[in-house]
Amino acid sequence: MSISLNGVVGRGDFERVLKFSVSDGEVLAITGPNGSGKSTVIHTLAGLIPMRSGQLMADDITWDSSTSNTWVEPEHRTCAVVFQDLRLFPHMNVLANVAYGLRARGMHKDEAEQRSQKMLERVGLKSFEMRRPNNISGGERQRVALARALVLEPRVLLLDEPLSAVDTASRSGLRELLPELLSGFAGATILVTHDQKDVEALATATFGL
C-alpha cells in the first residue's frame, strides 16, 4: 500500500503546501524545527484535522479530498498513531490499553488479550499486563504506546516524536527496539522527529519541513 498526500495542510494560523508519498516497507522521516507543523501532518493523516485543500489517498481509497468532497473518519482509516504525549488511557491497565483498538474493531475479548500479550512480549514488557500507566516508567509507557499501535497491524504507522517523551537513559534501549519492530512491520511508516539520531537509526527517506 502506498499513502500519498498532495495539497495544503493547516491548523489554526499555520498552513503548508505539501506533497509526499510513502510505500509499504518504507519509513519516511519528516523533519523540521519545532513549530514547523510536523504534528499537524500526523493529525491530518490520521483524520483528526481536515486538509485545507488537496488530496490524501491510501492506494486507491480517498481519505480526504476537497475536490470530490470525500472524508473518511479517523476510526475508519487503516492507520495507527503513537502520539508524542503517548495518550495512554489512565483508567485502564496496560493490557486493556493495548487491546483497546482490537476490541474497538470488534475482536472478541479473549483473542484481543492474547494478541496483546504477545505484542507486549515483543516490546519487552512481558508481565506488565496488570500495571497501570502511571505506575510504570517513561520508557515503559512508550513501549506500551508502540505495542498499542502495532497490535492493530495497520497499513500506516504514524510516529510523532517517538523518543521525545523518554528519558535519556531509556532512549538508547528504545532506539535499538524501534528498528527491530519497524523491520517486522509490513506497512508504511511516517516518523516525525527533530532528532537527527532518530533519522539515522530508522528512516529510509526524509522530508524536511
Partner 1 sequence: MKQRTSPSLKVLAGIAAAFIALPLLSILVRTPWSDLGNMLSQKSTRDALSISLQTSIIAALISCAFGVPLAWLLARSQSRGLSALRVICITPMVLPPVVGGIALLTAFGRQGLVGRFLYDWFDVSLPFTRTAVVMAQVFVAMPFLVLAVEASFRQSDKGLEEAARTMGASPSRVFFTVALPAARPAIMAGLALAWARSLGEFGASITFAGSFPGRTQTLPMAVYELVSVDYRLSLVLSLVLILISVGVLAAMRDRWMVGR
C-beta of 209: minimal distance to partner 1 in Å?
21
C-beta of 200: minimal distance to partner 1 in Å?
28
C-beta of 84: minimal distance to partner 1 in Å?
10
Dihedral sign (CA 119, 2, 57, 202): positive
Which positions lie near partner 1, rule CB under 8 A? Answer: 43, 46-48, 73-77, 79-81, 83, 85, 87, 89-91, 100-101, 104-105, 148-149, 152
Place of cell 479517523: 74
Amino acid at 86: L
Amino acid at 176: E
Cβ distance to partner 1 smaller for residue 102 or 201? 102
Torsion of CA 168, 99, 3, 209, to 10 degrees: -30
Rounded to 5°, the CA angle 104-47-16 comes to: 160
Cβ distance to partner 1 smaller for residue 11 or 205? 11
Name residues whose C-beta falls within 8 Å of residue 189's C-beta, 6 or more positions apart in sequence: 22, 26, 27, 28, 156, 157, 158, 159, 182
Cβ distance to partner 1 smaller for residue 27 or 79? 79
Cβ distance to partner 1 smaller for residue 22 or 201? 22
C-beta of 88: minimal distance to partner 1 in Å?
8
C-beta of 28: minimal distance to partner 1 in Å?
18
- Residue 202: in which H helix or E strand, if any? helix 196-202
C-beta of 177: minimal distance to partner 1 in Å?
21
Cβ distance to partner 1 smaller for residue 75 or 110? 75
Cβ distance to partner 1 smaller for residue 190 or 201? 190
Distance CA 67, CA 92 (A): 41
Residue among 55, 41, 13 at smallest CA distance from 209: 41
